[in-house]
Amino acid sequence: MNIGFIGLGIMGKPMVRNLLKAGHRVWVRNRSKAPEEALRKDGAIPAGYREMAENCELVITMVPNSPQVREVLLGGDGIAQYMRQGQTVIDTSSINPVASQEIAAELAKRGVEMLDAPVSGGEPKAVDGTLSFMVGGKQEIFDRYKGILLNMGASAVRCGEVGAGNTTKLANQIIVACNIQAAAEALTLAQKAGVDPELVFQAIRGGLAGSTAMNAKVPMMLAGDDAPGFKIDLHIKDLNNVLDCAHSVGAPVPMTAQVQEILQWVQHHEGGQKDHSAIAQYYEYLTGIRLGR
Q: Which residues are catalytic?
A: 169
DSSP 226-269: ---SSBHHHHHHHHHHHHHHHHHHT---HHHHHHHHHHHHHIII
Q: Which amino acid is at 186?
A: A
DSSP the chain: -EEEEE--STTHHHHHHHHHHTT-EEEEE-SSSHHHHHHHTTT-EE--HHHHHHH-SEEEE--SSHHHHHHHHHSTT-GGGG--TT-EEEE-S---HHHHHHHHHHHHTTT-EEEE--EESHHHHHHHT-EEEEEES-HHHHHHHHHHHHHHEEEEEEEESTTHHHHHHHHHHHHHHHHHHHHHHHHHHHHHTT--HHHHHHHHTTSTT--HHHHHHHHHHHHT----SSBHHHHHHHHHHHHHHHHHHT---HHHHHHHHHHHHHIIIIITTSBGGGGHHHHHHHHS--TT-
